[in-house]
Structure 1
Amino acid sequence: MNTAEKSLRSLVDRWLTPTSATPVRVIQFGRTSSSRGRYVRVEAHRPDGPVALFFFRHNDGTWRVFPPDTARSQYLYWLGAV
């Protein structure tokens, strides 16, 4: 996997397709209290309303839209999904 495929910017571009009419911004970032894993919440403003995604840093240095396997249940609990 090349560096561009690992970058948070490339994932934001791919998932949220920012434009001058629909900009994106980081609205939250940090570490979870349980596993200390990094996360970033990015929001795009669409005509229908805002759309936000969480991106999670994995141990291999990649950013993904799903939490690492070792902490997935902790992240889901933290997000209020369970």
Structure 2
Amino acid sequence: MDATKSSLRGLRAKLWATAGALPVRVLALHGSTDGLTCRVCVEIRRPDGPILLFFYRHVDGTWHVFPPAENLCRMSFEPLAG
């Protein structure tokens, strides 16, 4: 997959364009100390309640809203839950 087609910057631009005037903010940015895991939590505030999106960086440098299969057990957002 071409990394330029799913860079975090590109996904952010699509998200902001889709959200329109709705407030969008980054809630969390986490990278592991070994550099193998990186994830971002983004919130879109809507009149009927917020939507949270989680973006994960894959080994090839692309970003997706689903985690890479080989790192499923390594990723968690427990510190955000409370």
State the TM-score, normalizing by the size of structure 2: 0.72
Q: Determine the structure 1 residue equivalent to 2:18.
A: 17
* Residues 58-82 of structure 1: CA deviation (Å, up to 9, x unaligned): 010100011111111332xx246xx
- Percent identity (aligned): 41
> When you count strand as a share of all residues, which structure comes out higher?
1
CA 1:19/1:41 → structure 2, altered by over 3 Å: closer, same or farther? same
Structure 1: runs of 5+ lacking an equivalent: none
- The one-letter code of the counterpart of 1:41 is C
* Residues 4-29 of structure 1: CA deviation (Å, up to 9, x unaligned): x2222433425x82212x12111101
Query: How far, CA to CA, are the matches of 1:18 and 1:40 in structure 2?
Result: 17
- Whether contact under 8 Å (2:26, 2:42) holds in the other structure is yes
- The one-letter code of the counterpart of 2:70 is T
How many pairs are equivalent?
76
Q: Determine the structure 2 residue equivalent to 1:67.
A: 67
Structure 2: runs of 5+ lacking an equivalent: none
State the TM-score, normalizing by the size of structure 1: 0.72
Q: Determine the structure 1 residue equivalent to 2:28.
A: 28
CA 1:51/1:59 → structure 2, altered by over 3 Å: closer, same or farther? same
Higher relative contact order (CA 8 A, sep 6+): 2
